[in-house]
Structure formats: structure tokens, C-alpha cells
């Protein structure tokens, strides 16, 4: 999940991402632990926040952290590192979505109260963005100025609920599926020793998302605009079901490519230009 604002914060992992601007002293240690900070704007320090949650097979917080060098100078990206990955490799994996939400809010809630923010999430990150946004609204009466959701059906949709549980596959079958969706470097797939270190994190993340359950909202709990992105060659996702979370504008944009369409340089530029334009417009209203 990624947090985006005209004064921006962000969150991220191999399956996630998150962003934020200033860190109040009581939260400084916790925020450093779970978030990778890519940039702080010196020219517009009181602008927007972006939070990013990327939950993909392959990638990591480093890939999305560099977005902070591409988005405009009023935005900053904080990539969230969950336990079991990168510098937190020795920590046990989280087992459910609420653990992720609780850690994100413990680290970033003070920042989210300071400035307007947006959320971006791809794949598992879309679910975590949804779960974070739901708790922010219900518990703290906060909501993003925009939600950007990518590569995933709404968590309560029939397509998603009936999808097979890949995390329970034997390693060889799991690798066949991983290869089929693309996006994971071939040099990684061809190195058995590295794969043995990599697979547990992938399966742990998929276990969380595959066992995450929520009900379709009776009424929209958000009022902000929501934009969904997806690859035209990816497996079908029920993007329209995301419409139920907001009473605001709802837009779907499709890209050439499959599940990891956003790793293509051309697609990534179009995506980031679009996000920048949306948030620059939001900045006019909030500043």
C-alpha cells in the first residue's frame, strides 16, 4: 500500500509500500522500523502525503521507494517493510491482515493526522490499502483524498473469494504458477538456493491475503475518488466491485501487460504522471 499526498507519505513490501512526511518524536523509532523513507520535500514541506502498499510476488520496498524521486517535489514516499523481509528478515511473518493494519497505523497515524494523504496498493497491496482505509475511517474518522487500487478484485467479490489458494501449493507447483504470471526475474527463478530464501516470504504474504475476509459494505464508507488500474492480459479481476467502497468518483484505467504491467517503464511513467496530476489537483483544494 502506498500513501500519496501533495505532502506525501508511503508504505511498501515485496507485496507492499507506504509513505509519510514528518515523524513526531514519540513515533520515530517505530516508523523507521517499518517504513523506508525515500525523500522529504524541502520546498513544500507542508503539502501532501502518499502511502504505498505493494503486495506482489517479486519486487520489494526498494523498487517502489524510488517513486519518491519521480513524483513531484511536494510528495514523499515511505515504503513499508513488513517482518520477514529485507532488514527485518529475522522477524516472524505476520499471520493476518489486522496485524499489518495495526503496525501501519501505529507507525503512521500521527502523520496521517497532519496532512491530506492518498493510498496506492497493487495486488495484495490493494487489500491492505482497503483494510487500512477502513480502520482509519471507522476508528479515527480519517480518509484519503484519493485511493489508487491496482491488480486485484475487491476483497469481498465472488471472483476473489472463489480463487484457488496458491500459498498452499507445494513449492514446485507454486513456482510454476509464479512463473506463469511473470514479473519475477528469471535469474531468481533459476537459482534454487536463493528461491529457498525467497519463497517463505511470498507464501506468507499470500497466506495473509488469501485468508483475509470482509463483507461488502452496506453503504460506502469513503467519499473520496477511487481509481482502479489493471493489466489487460492479467487474469480477470472484479474491478467494478471496488465501486461499493466510495460515494465519490470511480474510474478504471487499463494498461498493456499482465499482472506486473507497472514494472514496464512506459506504463510506470503513465501511471505516475496520472497519480501526480490527480494529487496536484487535490493539493489546490487542500492547501
Q: How far apart are CA 230 and CA 178, in angstroms?
A: 18
The residue among 59, 142, 48, 47 whose CA lies nearest residue 104 is: 142
Q: Which residues pair with 146 in a beta bridge?
A: 118
Distance CA 97, CA 258 (A): 26
Scanning the structure block, which residue is given the C-alpha cell 530464501? 197
- What phi, psi does 277 have (nearest 5°)? -60, -45
State how far the Cα of 57 lies from the Cα of 174, in Å rounded to an integer.
Answer: 11
Q: Which of 19, 207, 237, 259 is catalytic?
A: 259
Active site (annotated) includes residue 43: no
Q: 77 in helix, strand or coil? A: strand
Catalytic residue, candidates 123, 153, 157, 258 = 123
* DSSP conformation letters of 154-221: -TTSHHHHTS--GGGS-HHHHHHHHHHH--S-HHHHT-HHHHHHHHHHHHHHHHHHHT---PPPSS-S
**Strand intervals (E) in the chain:** 2-4, 10-13, 16-19, 35-37, 49-55, 78-80, 117-123, 146-150, 226-231, 250-255
Q: Are strands 226-231 and 16-19 parallel, antiparallel or unpaired?
A: unpaired
Active-site annotation holds for 63: no
**C-beta of residue 231 within 8 angstroms of C-beta of residue 260:** yes
Please identify every residue annotated as catalytic.
123, 259
Amino acid at each position: 500500500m502506498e500513501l500519496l499526498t501533495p505532502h506525501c507519505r508511503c508504505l511498501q513490501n515485496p507485496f507492499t509500500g507506504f509513505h509519510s512526511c514528518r515523524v513526531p518524536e514519540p513515533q520515530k523509532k517505530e516508523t523507521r522500523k517499518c517504513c523506508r523513507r525515500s525523500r522529504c520535500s524541502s520546498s513544500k514541506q507542508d503539502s501532501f502525503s502518499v502511502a504505498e502498499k505493494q503486495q506482489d510476488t517479486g519486487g520489494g520496498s526498494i523498487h517502489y521507494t524510488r517513486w519518491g524521486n519521480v513524483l513531484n517535489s511536494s510528495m514523499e514516499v515511505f515504503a513499508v517493510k513488513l517482518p520477514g523481509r529485507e532488514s527485518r528478515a529475522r522477524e516472524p511473518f505476520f499471520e493476518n491482515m489486522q496485524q499489518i493494519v495495526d503496525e501501519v497505523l501505529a507507525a503512521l497515524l500521527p502523520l496521517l493526522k497532519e496532512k491530506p494523504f492518498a493510498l496506492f496498493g497493487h495486488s495484495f497491496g490493494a487489500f491492505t490499502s482497503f483494510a487500512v482505509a477502513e480502520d482509519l475511517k471507522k476508528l479515527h474518522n480519517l480518509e484519503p483524498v484519493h485511493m489508487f487500487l491496482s491488480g486485484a478484485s475487491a476483497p469481498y467479490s465472488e471472483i476473489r473469494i472463489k480463487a484457488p489458494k496458491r500459498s498452499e501449493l507445494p513449492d514446485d507447483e507454486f513456482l510454476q504458477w509464479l512463473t506463469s504470471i511473470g514479473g519475477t526475474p528469471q535469474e531468481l527463478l533459476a537459482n534454487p538456493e536463493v528461491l529457498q530464501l525467497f519463497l517463505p516470504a511470498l507464501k506468507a504474504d499470500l497466506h495473509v491475503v488469501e485468508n483475509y475476509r470482509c463483507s461488502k459494505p452496506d453503504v460506502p464508507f469513503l467519499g473520496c475518488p477511487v481509481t482502479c488500474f489493471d493489466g489487460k492480459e492479467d487474469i480477470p479481476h472484479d474491478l467494478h466491485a471496488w465501486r461499493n467502497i466510495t460515494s465519490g468518483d470511480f474510474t478504471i484505467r487499463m494498461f498493456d501487460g499482465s499482472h506486473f504491467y507497472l514494472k514496464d517503464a512506459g506504463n510506470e511513467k503513465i501511471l505516475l504522471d496520472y497519480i501526480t496530476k490527480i494529487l496536484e489537483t487535490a493539493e489546490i483544494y487542500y492547501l
